[in-house]
Amino acid sequence: MTVHKRFEVLEALAPIWHNKRKELPVTKCTQESFDFPDVKRRSVEVNFQRGDITSDGSVLLLRQVGKRLGLSEAVSKALQDLRRRASCKHDGLSLLRQRVYALAAGYEDFNDHQQLRNDLAIQTAVERTDVLASSSTLCRWENRSDRQAAWDIQAH
């Protein structure tokens, strides 16, 4: 096919292509904000018109799914927490949520938690209003899990 013929074919198809483009529906998102349930003293609002607070807002959606499914609670109950509670600032459920939400947001390295522990979105998803666990605390907590813990989680 010559260049001239290709041009004629494109010219012939152009009106059809343009008409189809006009018929396609276009999504118009007009909602500027919406609220999540409050966490303790913190109200949670997603607003697309203001400045950036966090780039990890997706963890709030994970929190809502997790609350509905009860998955974090079930896994936390399956894991034995043998730590002396009087010496602990962070319960097992908070540690599990912190680690899971960070992994889901793409932070697989424990060193990331030194900064994430102060992130408002992660704190809110974990349902805490104060500083989260340090990377060393999370590392110790995760390293104490063994094969039996995996079986216990699977059984629940």
Is 146 or 73 the better-scoring residue by pLDDT? 73
Confidence at residue 30, expressed as pLDDT on a 0 to 100 scale: 66
Average pLDDT of the chain is 77
Q: What pLDDT does residue 98 have?
A: 93
b vs e for 114-135, b when ≥16 Cβ sit within 10 Å of the residue's Cβ?
eebbebebbbbbbebeeebbeb
Q: Please give the model's pTM, rounded to 2 decimal places.
A: 0.66
Residue of higher predicted confidence among 98 and 89: 98
- Cβ contact 78:145 at 8 Å: no
| pLDDT over 90 percentage in the chain | 13
Mean pLDDT throughout 38-63? 72
